[in-house]
Structure 1
Amino acid sequence: MGAVIHAVRVVNDGGFVPVRRQPPLVVGYEHFRLDRQGQLLSPKTLIYYDETVLPFLRWLAAEGVRRFEEVDVGRVRTYRAFLATKMGKWGRPLAPKTILESHRAVLCFLRWARREGYAVDGRVLELTAPRVPDKEPTVYHIAQLKRILAACNPSVPTEDMVVRILVGSGLRREELCGLAVVGPDGLSDVMTDSLGTGRVELRVRWNAGAKGRKSRRVPITPKLAEAIKRYEARHRRDTDLPQLLINGHGNPYQGPGIKSMMDRLTERTGFRIHAHAFRHTFATVPAKMGWNFEHLRAAMGHSDFGMLQRYVRLATERDLGSRADWVDLIASNPATEWS
């Protein structure tokens, strides 16, 4: 965001030249963004607000709306109807989830503005969210997972490693890319201090991709820890970079690189593979294994138990294969392993 443009500008002869002011809505958004940045929100979250709130403000400007008090319920409803008919960059209508995210971001901005004393119509804040289809999450059966592992390119060991970490820990893409062989504190993110009792953890650091900058520990199997160490010793590129996963160009993997890897696996297996489906699988299998709710919530990085209800339902409805096949991939109930 650029700096706020003032109403006048001083010139060399001491006179004043009028300068067109930024619309109050835009100035208010700059205030909002600076406030959020001062709260140490991640750059990704700030970009999210830019990509969802700024289009709304540009649409309002095209409609001749410049001030908060001019944003009434009718304007917001009209904008949502506009989004419902708008075509995305691939020539298809916007996904319902995209419209829902826009609604949430706009209302977040307006709620903040009202708390800050801007003239916001309270009825706008009472608008119900758009209805989004309740799609069933993708959860892989053990037979599908074996096909995915078999489809990994043997000449690119990183593919097999990525799949095993994703399904064995439920990490998000950014969290996966943030794993380090040596963190800022000199410790590996594979925590093996309790290996003697059969417990190993992956450390997800607040400054290495953790969503909401919330650090956590995820129990993993000793076999996965062994596979990570073997990958590090035999296959990881020789580099001074701290990240565990290094691509063929000698750079740390990032989200788009992981997505491209999933796309290649999709082509080889014939069914869609995406990183977040491994996270769904990780959450559902431990629910079937009988993990304590608090252990599962902490491992997933959720702030409450609401999201876990979906995985518990899936665990009761789905046959995911033999438990014996899963225990080598996903840790058993952590609550029963402490001795």
Structure 2
Amino acid sequence: MLADKALDLFSAYLKTRNSSELTLAAYQSDIIQFMEFSAHELGIETESLEVNQIDKYIVRSYIGQMTERELKRKSIARKIAAMRSFFKFLCREEIVSQNPVQKIATPKVGKNLPRFLFQEHMEKLLEASNQDEKNGLRDQVIVELLYGSGLRVSELVNLNKPDVDLDGSLIRVFGKGKKERIVPLTEPAEEAIKRYLLQRDDQQEALILNYKDMRLSSRSVRRILDKLEKTAKLNQHVHPHMLRHTFATHLLEGGADLRSVQELLGHKKLSSTQIYTHLSREKLRSVYLKAHPRAK
């Protein structure tokens, strides 16, 4: 089977599994790059490449080329994972008889601890918006939801008015793979949402709008946080996911159990949540080194 056709089938399969558009685009990009390399190695046009022409030697050459180009281990590991999933699917569908990536080792990737804001810095950010203005109230809603409910930026911008239950202090969120979860709404977030909606005179279903009264984009949220960061004089870059990291870290520091935090974040695996326990330990160590006379 032609590689292009095989990729179309694989993409259709990913869609049935409710893979996000970002995941789908990343898989397609990684596999297309690999196909182009494979065709070049075989001395043929990419359009003529058949998946059964690809063997483990081509895979190893591709990894060697990525290493020579000094790609980061994380990027190489991601590309290998995409190729492995692609050929695993082709084997299951009996399109190819062997998976040329099956025995290829994935480079070990060290875990980077996610950055978060300390309590005093978070308070400054929460106080940075001018709530006497319509856009100021909107900006306050953004910060309150990212930090107070631990939302991803994609979840935030896709919220609709009916998703917010102000009486029950809850929000319905659609996360990765369109998986639904219910998360609590803080009292300050409720107040900010009520005031923001009272100021609006549009008929839009979206909860958060831009200055043209259209649904706000993820990019706009990043720009808004950049502005608030400067107003708060934090002297550190604040991105939307950083507030989600801060949400999880502050919960654990406050005594929340790991399983509850996992559910609130919408993580499939507990291992994805466990990284925040390392963050708490790092903070404890920092406090210890600064405060204990024997640690100096």
Distance in 1 separating the partners of 2:191 and 2:129? 19
State the one-letter code of the partner of 1:136: L
Secondary structure of 2:102 counterpart: helix
Letter in 1 for 2:256: W
Compute the TM-score of the two structures, normalised by the length of structure 1. 0.73
Q: 1:288 to 1:37 in 2, by over 3 A?
A: same
Match of residue 212 from structure 2? 249
Q: CA deviation at 1:26?
A: 1.7
CA contact (8 A) 1:71 1:120 kept: no
- In the other structure, the counterpart of 2:172 is 203
1:38-77 Cα deviation digits (max 9, x unpaired): 4444433322322222222122222227233332233223
Q: Which residue of 1 aligns with 2:95?
A: 118
Structure 2 residue aligned with 1:55: 33
| Aligned Cα root-mean-square deviation (Å) | 2.5
Task: Check conservation: 2:140, 2:192, Cα contact below 8 A.
Answer: no
1:169: how far off? 0.9
In structure 1, the partner of 2:177 is 212
Alignment equivalent of 1:240, drawn from 199, 203, 207: 203
Which amino acid in structure 2 is aligned with residue 243 of structure 1?
A
Cα deviation, residue 94, structure 1: 5.0
> What is the aligned residue count?
275
Task: Give the counterpart of 1:175 among 131, 149, 155.
Answer: 155
Q: Secondary structure of 1:167's partner? A: helix
C-alpha distance 153-125 of structure 1, shift in aligned 2 (>3 A)? farther
134-143 or 30-39, which moves further after superposition? Answer: 30-39
Closer/same/farther in 2, CA of residues 160 and 98 from structure 1, 3 Å limit: farther
Corresponding residue to 1:77 among 60, 65, 82: 60
Which residue in the other structure is 1:273 paired with? 238
TM-score, normalised on structure 2?
0.82
Q: 1:35 aligns with which of 4, 8, 13?
A: 13
2:244 is aligned with 1:286: no
Q: What is the CA deviation profile of residues 61-116 of structure 1, one whole-angstrom value per residue up to 9, with x for unaligned ones?
A: 22227233332233223223333455xxxxxx755433332222121111111111
SS at match of 2:275: helix
Q: Distance in 1 between matches of 2:156 and 2:50?
A: 43
Does residue 1:314 correspond to 2:283, yes or no?
no
Corresponding position of 1:221: 186
- 8 Å CA contact retained: 1:167, 1:281: yes
Which residue of 142, 145, 157 corresponds with 1:162? 142
Q: Structure 1 residues 142, 173: closer, same or farther in 2, change over 3 A?
A: same
Q: Which amino acid aligns with 1:82?
A: Q
AA partner of residue 178 (structure 2): R
Determine the structure 1 residue equivalent to 2:289: none
Helix, strand or coil at the partner of 1:306: helix
- Aligned partner (choices 141, 146, 152) of residue 123 of structure 2: 146
TM-aligned CA deviation for residue 175 of structure 1 = 0.2
Matched letter for residue 170 of structure 2:
E
For residue 191 of structure 1, the aligned residue among 162, 165, 179 is: 165
- Show the 5 A alignment for 1:120-135: 121-122=98-99, 124-135=101-112
In the alignment, which residue of structure 2 is the partner of 1:303? 268
Taking only the aligned residue pairs, the percentage that are identical comes to 27
